[in-house]
Structure 1
Amino acid sequence: MATLPLTETLSVAPQLTVEDMADLAAAGYTTVINNRPDGEQADQPLSDDLRAAAIRHGLTFLHQPVVGGEITQAQVDAFARTLEQSDGLVAAFCRSGKRSVTLWALANSETMDVDALMATAGAAGFDLTDLPDKIASLRGR
């Protein structure tokens, strides 16, 4: 399991497994956000199985699925609320981690400079050069 820190309290990761829930709990995480819809690939674990494993290890688990090119403002708002309400370290994941990073960036696009958001994402290994277009699309510009 490899998590990539974005902030002091949020890290992102590629697809997590049932076994990763124990490692996350041991590393001090308190919340796991699954941004991947079930059924994208035949071999991905089901969200219900991940939730059960997370709960067994004392983690809060939320399934907030998004499709990469179709992120809505409601999904961004839900992600932001989850981060605001979470106590402790949060790990968000999808297939590669990029959707989770994009949700974080969009959730912070009104309070942080776009270049800073892209630089933070870049430092974690994610290319968000399309972020200004996504922001404009969400805001109807």
Structure 2
Amino acid sequence: MTYPIQGSCQCGGVKYRLLNAPTAIIACHCKACQKLSTSAFSITAMVNAADIEFEGEMAEWSRLADSGNTNGAKFCPTCGNRIYHFNPEQPDKIKLKPANLDDTSIIKPTAHVWVSEKQDWFTIPEGVKVFDKQA
């Protein structure tokens, strides 16, 4: 894979450049991520904040996670597309929603978390780490 990779929301109002490879790609099966993705799980690419550049206005929303941490979200105020999540206590880390990338070939989860809430019909591929709750 050659970096940078471009990404954007559905309407193009928010654009970004991922400058380096993510540190991890995680599939989360918790009920909140199922609601977010309107699917069986949500994909997150863990990236260093210094490795991504954003352009365009984003709105923000947050909730308290089961861990007690704040789970913030940045999204396009026009189309509503989630761009990334973050913990305000860890400003150097971003939890990018990589389905927004122009080239999604990097989306190969190496771990599945919250499989205790996984949809029964989904089978986790062989060879990836699995955690009943958060890793």
Same fold (TM over 0.5): no
**Larger strand share, 1 or 2:** 2
Q: Name the TM-score, length of structure 1 as normaliser.
A: 0.31
**Larger helix share, 1 or 2:** 1
Q: Name the TM-score, length of structure 2 as normaliser.
A: 0.31
